[in-house]
Every structure is written in C-alpha cells, then in structure tokens.
Structure 1
Amino acid sequence: MNYIITGGTGFIGTHLTNLLCELHPDAKVWNLDIVDPAKLDVMTNEKERQEYTTIKDWKSPLVEGETRKSTFVYCDVRKPIENLPFTPTSEDILFNFAAVHRTPGHPDHAYFETNIRGAENVCAFCEKYGIKKMVFTSSIAPYGAAEELKKETTLPTPNTAYGISKLVAEKIHMMWQADDQKDRQLTIVRPGVVFGRGENGNFTRLYWAIKGHKFAFPGRKDTIKACIYVKELVRFMLYRLENHGVGVELYNCCYEPAYTIEHIVDVIKSKTGLTQFVPNIPNAVIMPVAAVIGALGAPMGICPARVKKLQISTNICGKKMKNSGYDFKWSFEGAVEDWFIDNKKKYLK
C-alpha cells in the first residue's frame, strides 16, 4: 500500500509525512510535486529560492537535524499524472494538497489552472488505478469574506479567484466519489489559518512583527481568526480516514470557538516570552501607513490588501470537528508552545 501526497513538499504535506512515518514506520510515502525538497532544503540564496518556490523568506518545516521521509517524484498536476516510478494500487490512499493558494499574490488564471485542472487530473488518476480513499484539502475561502458565522451547511459565496477555484475543486472531487458511491471515501477539510513550523505565513509574520515592534491591531482587537495547528490538522485527517465509511465528509478544521486576534497575540506573547506593547491604531491612520509601506516593498508583508484581510473576521464554526469524536492533542496554547519548542524556544518560524 502507498500513501500518495500531491503537493507533498509543502508545509502540510511534510507534517503529514512525518506523522505517517511515525505511526507506520514501514509506510511508503510518495511526494508528487513540482518542487524538489532535495534542492529546496539546501538552497541558501534567498532570491534563487524565492524564484523556485514563489515564497518569500521561506523556512523549512523540518526540525533541525530532521530529514525528509517521503520519496520525491516530479509531477505537475496541471497535466495528466503518468509515468510514475511505482505502480499505484486500489489499496492506496491519496492526499491532494497540490494548489496555488497564497492570496493575494497570483494572477486569477493561476488559481483556476492549478486548483481546477489539478483536481480533474488527480481524480482521473484515482479513477484509472481504482484508488478508493482520498483526502482533499480545500479552504475556508469558498465561504467568502464576511463577519457572519460559517458552518459546513452555509451557502458558499466565494469572492476571490482562489475561493472560486477551491469550491469548484471540491465539486470535482465530489463527482469522483459519486461515480462509485458504494466504494469511494472522500474527506474534504476546510482549514482555518494553519500554523506551525514552516508555515511561512500569517502567524510567523505576526510573531516577527510583534517582536520587532512592527505590529498594531489594525483598527480593532475583536477580529475573529479561525485557526488550527498543523500537527492537529494532519492527525485529524488520519482519524477521519480510519473512522469514516464510504461517502463524502466535509469538515471545517479550526479550534472551537475561534479566537480573536487579541487572544492570539496574547498567547503568542505569553508562550514565547515577548513583552512588547501592541497598540490599537485607528483604521483612518493604519491604511495610509500601510499604503506607504507597501510602496516601499512591503517589508514584513505589510500592504493595504493584507491589512484589510486582517480586519475581516474568519468566523468559522468548528463544532462539527469538535464533536466528531476526535481527541485533540493540543489546546491552542499548547500548540503555540509546541511550535516554540520545535524551534528550540528561540522564535517562531
């Protein structure tokens, strides 16, 4: 049996591989990706690395001294998946993580090309080899940007190319399952902000901004930011694989209730020893400042689009996950502390 991960070089894929190999030491994990981790992990030139990964200031999800545990296979999901160095079987399990996901940051067609065509090609691959179990990592972006609480039953109203592409990709995966409803198992997860070692995203930027006295609450402290620890997310995926029969399951993946940005900042400070004061700057002041900083190259990722994104709540309901029978290993506070320990209690990255 093979574990096949499309987009396995990335943040979530690497943590999933680590967990699979921890729980199943003899597991064969195949990483189908366009980014070769053997090249990425040894690159020291930041410009060269950013061109290779498209991620600015990339940091590895590996703990110091740790090595990659999957076998890399170059694979572009925008094209039919073929000529693999192994023979897939109907007993294999596929995790589809391949996506263009950072937003803003890519032209609209890039989201559609990778996320929609990629979904079609991945599902065609599973169809070809009779693979019956698949996990698809979607996003909360299909809900659209709004303050209202979003449950799995909420009507999706995506308002970005990324959100639209992810919603269409979900439907493509559902059509794959519907073609053989009696035998196929599909789990779709919509994670909130996923944080942890190697995220290269919002929480890392938040930590360094606080540390460098460069963060202020952007006009409000009560913005809700649904989130989930990466190690918790991959544990939950495996739990659903083992406790889910045939059919389709859809889960929001986030702590319940979701936390405010003020609580997130307080926990990050308390667990990492930061004492910096974080002011609350009125919107009328912070947006012009963000525009100026953005014009200077957006250090720390500060620009009007990101500030606006920070001001909108991601008010996602995690009750279904909480009541699924899954036993959380970490509280939010424990997760931040565990992440800090992964970095030898020096910083968060």
Structure 2
Amino acid sequence: MNIAIIGGSGFVGTQLITLLQQSGELHVKNIDKQNSKTHSGITTIANVLDLEALKTELSGFDVVILLAAEHRDDVTPTSLYYDVNVQGMRNTLAAMDYNGIKRIIFTSSVAVYGLDKPNPSEDSPKDPFNHYGISKWQAEQVLDEWSKGHQDWNINIVRPTVIFGEGNRGNVFNLLSQIANGKFMMIGKGNNQKSMSYVGNIIAFIQFMLMEMKTGYNIYNYVDKPDFTTNDLVFHTGEILGKQIPTTHIPYWLGMLGGYGFDVLSFLTRKKLNISSVRVKKFCAVTKYDSTKAMGSGFVPPYSLEEGLRRMLKAEFGK
C-alpha cells in the first residue's frame, strides 16, 4: 500500500510515520512545506496550497492521510486558517481525483463542537467558537459535499481531542512544564473535565482506520478514557514528578483579566506568548467528548491515559 501523508513533519505526523514504517507492507511518503527532522529521506517539500505540486506528488499513491493544518491559537492573519484548512482540503481532493486516488483519512478536531458542550457524540450539533474550529468544520463540509459526487470513495474522518505526548509543545506541555518548574497556578475550581488523547493511541487509531476501514464514509471522535478533571491531571502530574502542587485557586474572572492583559502585551510586542485569554478560556472550559463509537469499532488503545502521561513526563522531564 502506497501512503501519502500531507503535513507529516509535525508532532503527530512524525510519530505516525515511525509507526507505519514498522510494517514492510506500507510505503510512506511525507509531503510538507517544512522538512522533517526525523524522516527527511521520505519527505518532499510542497505546500498544500500548491495544487499543481500536489498533483505531481500524489502520483502513484493509494491513500492520502491529510494532517496539514493551521492549529495554533495565535495564527496571524486569521485568513491562514481558511487558506490552509479549507482551501487545502479542496486542493487535496482535486489532486487525488486527478490521480485516481479514492481513499482519504482526515484529521479534523472536536473543536467543531465548541466549548462547554454536554459530552458531544459524532452526531451532535456543530458550534465552533474560534477560527480553528470553524475552518475544520468548513473543511469537513467540503469533504462531505465532495462525497455526494464520489460515492465510491472511502472517507475516514477522525476528530481527536487535545493530543499530548513525547515531543509535543502544545497546551498540555506548557501546563506540565509550569508544574515541573513550580510556576503553576490553578485558574477556577479545577472540576472541569478535560478529554485528552495520548499520541501513541491516536496514531494507532489512524493505523487501524488505514488497515481496517477500507470502505464507506466513517466519522469518529477520538478520546482516551476516563476523562480527567483539571484537578485530576494536576494531581497525577504532581505525583509522577514528585512535586508539591500549590493549592491556591485564582478566580476565573481574574484569570481572564490576566489573559486579556497578555493579549494586549502580545499585540504591542508582536510576540506570541504562552498565556492568552483564549488559552485561559480553554483551560477552564469543560471539554468532554463521547468516544463510544471509536471504542466500539474493534480498536484497542495500546496505552492507558495515565501510562501515556507517565511516558511523556519521563521523556520530557526525566521522571
């Protein structure tokens, strides 16, 4: 099977390629606008916005795994979310059609549901609250419309919750780093549940879809269970790191006020900071999602959530 991964030089893509290369039956190519530090030998430099380049690079492949996305909270200009996530989808589909490729795995996001929703399943209403979530939902809509005229295609969409693991430098890493360095402060009561996905499990699920879900149009949330509250996450992290975590809780309104202050500072200095109002809001929100469908598909996660946390902490902080 010849597999083209678009946007595989990042955190998830790097580990996915490593996993897929363990099989002698899979030939993998990475197409990305940036070279891969780990898999440079199989990486071709091309931008998802360059349709002609995609047409050339996808020649001879059986499956496309579309990972490319603008996903940070502070992307500027915001039009990049729609250029990369939405137009990138259109270009990918056109290049696939040009080359006769009829299988795609697309990593969307639970951000399509919005914040503080009551445990949404795949069929729940979509109410994204930021440009990232809106653009991911629009990309899904492009794919859905495409499927109506290409019913012989195999389309698999996975909507992961926040992904953490070795090598990640996102919000979870920032939280763990603050705890490890004794700089953590809890905003709000900490009782909000936070659905999470360990990278070792999400790449295993993508591999499962690749090998087992070869027909139809399939959509799955991906969440590792059970859901931790923010207090649970802080407790387990402190226990693993052997750190005494401060019990002081900052009121939500004060945390948001500080977040807005960092927004202004970021604007004035033209620097991207680790603290913002969006990140405070996401930190305090309930982000719990239903993954019954994925867990009933026959897939068995290779790692527990706590083991994934332990593996990340060991790799990043030597604990």
- What's the TM-score, normalizing by structure 2? 0.90
Contact 1:140–1:190 (Cα < 8 Å) also in 2: yes
Cα deviation for residue 131 of structure 1 reads: 1.2
Question: Paired residue for 1:179, among 146, 149, 161?
Answer: 149
- 2:157 aligns to what SS in structure 1? strand
Native 8 Å contact 2:226 2:305 kept in 1: no
Q: SS of 2:53's equivalent? A: coil
Alignment CA distance shift 1:250-1:86 (3 Å): closer
> Are the equivalent residues in 1 in contact too, given 2:184–2:246 (CA < 8 A)?
no
- The alpha-carbon deviation at position 110 of structure 1 amounts to 1.0
Aligned-residue RMSD, C-alpha: 2.3
Deviation at 1:175, TM superposition (A): 3.2
Q: Confirm whether residue 340 of structure 1 aligns to residue 310 of structure 2.
A: no
Instruction: Work out the number of aligned pairs and report it.
Output: 315
2:172 corresponds to which of 203, 218, 240: 203
Residues 84/170 of structure 1: CA separation in 2 closer, same or farther (3 Å cut): closer
Distance 1:200 1:147, change over 3 A: same
Determine if contact 2:154/2:217 at 8 Å carries over to the other structure. yes
Deviations 1:183-230 (A, max 9, x none): x21110111000011221011100111122222221121112111011
Alignment of 1:165-314 (within 5 A): 165-182=135-152, 184-292=153-261, 301-314=274-287
CA contact (8 A) 1:2 1:27 kept: yes
CA distance 1:206–1:278, shift in 2 (3 Å):
farther
Contact 1:209 1:300 in 2 (8 A): no
For structure 2, which runs of at least 5 residues remain unmatched after alignment? Answer: none
Q: Distance in 1 between matches of 2:72 and 2:245?
A: 29
CA shift for structure 1 position 157: 1.6
Give CA deviations for 1:228-261 in whole Å, capped at 9, x if unaligned: 0111101001112222242111111112342211
* 1:119 aligned partner, one-letter code: M
- What's the offset of the Cα at 1:314? 1.2
1:132-152 residue CA offsets vs partner (Å, 9 max, x unmatched): 221100011111223422110
Deviations 1:273-302 (A, max 9, x none): 333334222224333444455555589712
Over 3 Å counting, the alpha-carbon distance change for 1:213 and 1:83 in structure 2 is closer
Say whether residues 1:316 and 2:289 are aligned partners: yes
> Tell me, what secondary structure is at the counterpart of 2:96?
helix
Note closer, same or farther for the CA distance 1:112–1:86 as it changes in structure 2 (3 Å cut): closer
Give the SS at the match of 2:172: helix
Question: Could you tell me whether the CA contact under 8 Å between 2:75 and 2:81 is conserved in 1?
Answer: no
Amino acid at match of 1:248: Y
Shift of 1:341: 3.8
Asked if 1:82 corresponds to 2:53, the answer is: yes
Structure 2 counterpart of 1:72: 43
**1:93-133, CA deviations, whole angstroms, 9 ceiling, x for partnerless residues?**
21101111112433321111111110000011111111122
How has the CA–CA distance of structure 1 residues 312 and 15 changed in structure 2, closer, same or farther, with 3 Å as cutoff? same
8 Å CA contact retained: 1:18, 1:69: no
Q: 68, 75, 87: which one pairs with 1:105?
A: 75
| Displacement after TM superposition at 1:162 (Å) | 1.7
Which segment drifts farther, 119-128 or 168-177?
A: 168-177
d(CA) in 2 for partners of 1:177, 1:126: 13
After superposition, the Cα gap between the structure-2 partners of 1:33 and 1:270, relative to the gap in structure 1 and judged at 3 Å, is same
Q: Distance in 2 between matches of 1:293 and 1:167?
A: 28
CA change 1:159–1:330 in 2 (3 A) is same
Residue 301 of structure 1: SS of its match in structure 2? coil
Percent identical: 29
Secondary structure, aligned partner of 1:142: helix
* SS at structure 2 position matched to 1:82: helix
Maintained 8 Å contact 2:158/2:222: yes
1:10 alignment counterpart: 10
Q: Note if contact 2:55-2:96 (Cα within 8 Å) is conserved in structure 1.
A: no
* Code of the aligned partner of 1:75: A
Counterpart residue number, 2:108: 138
Counterpart secondary structure, 1:256: strand
How far apart are the structure 1 equivalents of 2:263 and 2:86? Answer: 31
Summarize the alignment of residues 21-40 of structure 1 with structure 2, pairs less than 5 Å apart.
21-22=21-22, 24-25=23-24, 27-37=26-36
Q: Judging changes above 3 Å, is the alpha-carbon distance between structure 1 residues 70 and 320 closer, same or farther for their aligned structure 2 residues?
A: farther
In the alignment, residue 42 of structure 2 is paired with which amino acid?
T
Q: Output one character per residue of 1:73-109: Cα deviation in whole Å (capped at 9) or x when no partner.
A: 11111120437776623x5221101111112433321
Contact 2:65 2:104 in 1 (8 A): yes
Match of 1:93 in 2: 63
- Give the Cα separation in 2 of the matches to 1:25 and 1:271: 37
